[in-house]
Amino acid sequence: MTRTRGINRMSHDEFQVHRAKILTPSFWVLLTLTLIGFALIAVRFIWGIGAVSNMNDGYPWGIWITYDVATGTAIACGGYAVAILVYIRNKMHYHPLIRSAVLTSLFGYGLAGLSVMVDVGRPWNAYNFFIPSQWQINSAMFEVALCVMAYTTVLAIEFLPAVLSRLQQTNWNSARAFLDKHHGRFGLDTEIILAKFEKLRQWALWVQPKLDKVLIFIIVLGITLPTMHQSSLGSLMLIASTKLHPLWHTGFLPLLFLINCLFIGYSIAILESIISSYAFKRPFESEQLTGLASITPYLTTIWLSVMVGDLIWRGQLGNALSLDFYSGFFLLEFGLVASGSIILLFRRNRQSMRWLFVTAVLIVLGGALYRFNVYLIGFNPGQGWRYFPSLAELMITVGIVAFEILAYKVLVKLFPVLPRLHGHEEPTAVKA
């Protein structure tokens, strides 16, 4: 099929379905973790939040907000970071990376929203969010909620071309086989259903060019929304001036969170690409990854400079080097990001898959630890309150993360998400 306009006009050349077995052993492991997590979510909704969580009046935000929302959305910023690169800086040769980045972002954000619903004390009041007259438009939390919801929708639309092109190409073999096998049972009529599938295919053919026309606006939204709410995630903690340790409580929190999500975004795009190339036994996207890795040191340098400058300005540098509990975590976070960046400054390291992997891990860990420090570790409500997530609470987070990976693994085998391999035959086809 040829399309003459639209951003994804090259998509057939750029992306391909990864043809491999879906029901692998890791699939079953991830599925088990997912089911445990979701069973515990059910427990939370039946017996209440105290049944699964260690959260208390001193720490009303626990691991769910700290990891799933504050850190998870940063880790899900791969889509945002790559979109800036491709559409704002017009570096189209990174385009092959975008679909997998958007897909992980979609899960990251969608499940952050789910985590909030698990976390809020009175979820039955959540419907108020959809009633504009009930909005508290001065609230940073409201902005975060609105942006997360809007961005999830935007990401879903950004991912839609992958689904549509798959719908157009499929010949419903598996469905046909399934229906033939169960012919006559459940009152299913193969022909009628196949006709409906055909209609779906026609619809996909009809809607795709229209979607292509508006997609650029959706993409612009997709770049605006994270810029807004990633800084708001920092603003959220501005109010906790007496509870958040002075090492982290600063008026620059919004800026630091914004830069932080960008370098985490690029690093996670590198990690994700290396890991999926490795796990799916595909060649590495060496050229693009080297390019991405040359961006992160700039961002981390700005970030670290703002951080240190701010500490000096507020007279907290001595505090940062005092080697107490808080200073230890600060130095760890600082050291992880700084060491990752320093290694990346060398051209040779940027071209080595091993060092790209190691540095991306260091930077993601350091950046994520920063968010943990701001939301949990550096947070002390005083009066003897303490908090450590309970096992059930952790398992819900683990379940959500497992679901993310599981769905990614399945979807890349169903839809054209991964970059097309050039110059040689596709990896051994098993079954879509």
Partner 1 sequence: MSMTGQLFGGSVSRRDFIKTCVAATAVMGLPFGLASKVAAAAQAPDRPPVIWLHFQECTGCSETLLRANHPTPATLLLDMISLDYHETLMAGSGHQAEKSLHDSMQANHGKYILIVEGAIPTKEHGIYCKVGGKTALESLRSAAAGAAAIISIGTCASFGGIQAAAPNPTGAVGVRDIIKDKPIINIPGCPPSPYNLLSTVLYYLTFKKLPELDQMGRPKFAYGRRIHEHCERRPHFDAGRFAKAYGHTTHAEGYCLYKLGCKGPATYANCSVQRFNDVGVWPVSVGHPCIGCTEPDIMFNMTIADKVQIHEPTPFDSYAPVDLREKGTGASPLTTGLLGLAAGAALGAGAMMARKLPDGEQSAEQTEEESHGRKE
| Least Å from the CB of residue 280 to partner 1 | 9
Residue 19 interacting with partner 1 (CB under 8 A): no
Q: What single-letter amino acid sits at 31? A: L
**Which residue type occupies 182?**
H
Tokens of 154: 């935007």
Specify the residue, 360 or 407, whose C-beta has the smaller distance to partner 1.
360
Tell me the number of residues near partner 1 by CB under 8 A.
43
| SS3 state of residue 198 | helix
User: Applying CB under 8 A, which part among 4-12, 163-171, 239-247, 368-376 lies near partner 1?
Assistant: 239-247
Interaction of residue 202 with partner 1, rule CB under 8 A? no
**CB-nearer residue toward partner 1: 157 or 368:** 368
In angstroms, give the least distance from the CB of 344 to partner 1: 15
Please report how close the Cβ of residue 393 comes to partner 1 at its closest, in angstroms: 9
Using rule CB under 8 A, residue 351 touches partner 1? yes
What residues contact 157, with CB distance under 8 A and at least 6 apart?
A: 211, 215, 218
State the minimum distance, in angstroms, from the CB of residue 382 to partner 1: 6
Q: Shortest Cβ distance from residue 241 to partner 1 (Å)? A: 6
35 binds partner 1 (CB under 8 A): no
How far is the C-alpha of 195 from the C-alpha of 129, rounded, in Å? Answer: 40
Question: Using CB under 8 A, which of 238, 255, 302, 306 touches partner 1?
Answer: 238
How many other CB atoms are found less than 10 A from the CB of residue 163?
Answer: 16
Of 362, 375, 299, whose CA–CA distance to 332 is shortest?
362
Minimal distance in Å, beta carbon 29 to partner 1? 12
**Structure tokens that stand for 147 in this block:** 């942006």
Q: How many CA atoms lie within 13 A of 262 on its CB side?
A: 21
355 binds partner 1 (CB under 8 A): yes
Q: Does 385 bind partner 1 (CB under 8 A)?
A: yes
Query: Which of 27, 43, 45, 54 is in the footprint of partner 1 by CB under 8 A?
Result: 54
Binding partner 1 (rule: CB under 8 A), the pick from 357, 370, 379, 408 is 357
Q: Is 391 in the site for partner 1 (CB under 8 A)?
A: yes
- Nearest 5 degrees, angle CA 82-CA 218-CA 196? 110
Q: Which residue in the set 116, 162, 268, 394 belongs to the binding site for partner 1 (CB under 8 A)? A: 394
Instruction: Dig out the tokens for 81 from the structure.
Output: 């970071």
Residue 51 or 177: the one with the smaller Cβ distance to partner 1 is: 51
Shortest distance, position 252 Cβ to partner 1, whole Å: 14
Q: What phi, psi does 16 have (nearest 5°)?
A: -150, 155
| Cα(312)–Cα(83) distance, integer angstroms | 34
Q: How far is the CB of 283 from partner 1 (least distance, A)?
A: 4
Per rule CB under 8 A, is residue 274 in the interface with partner 1? Answer: yes
β-pair partners for 418: 16
Choose which of 43, 342, 361, 432 interacts with partner 1 (CB under 8 A): 361
Write down the least CB distance from residue 425 to partner 1, Å: 10
Nearer to partner 1, 10 or 361 (CB): 361
Other beta carbons less than 10 A from residue 178's beta carbon: 14
CA dist 70 and 108 (Å) reads 11
CB of 290 to partner 1, least distance (A): 9
Q: d(Cα 37, Cα 64) in Å, to the nearest integer?
A: 12
Residue 282 in the binding site for partner 1 (CB under 8 A): yes
Closest CB to partner 1 among residues 203, 346: 346
**What value, to the nearest 5°, has the Cα angle with vertex 235 and ends 229 and 238?**
170
389 is an interface residue for partner 1 by CB under 8 A: yes
Count of other CB atoms within 10 angstroms of residue 384: 6
- The C-alpha atoms of residue 145 and residue 245 are separated, in whole angstroms, by 25
Closest CA to 77 of 98, 115, 108: 108
Number of residues written out for the chain: 432
- Binding stretches for partner 1 (CB under 8 A): 54, 56-59, 238-239, 241-242, 274-275, 277-278, 281-284, 286, 348, 351-355, 357-358, 361, 381-391, 394, 423-424, 427-428
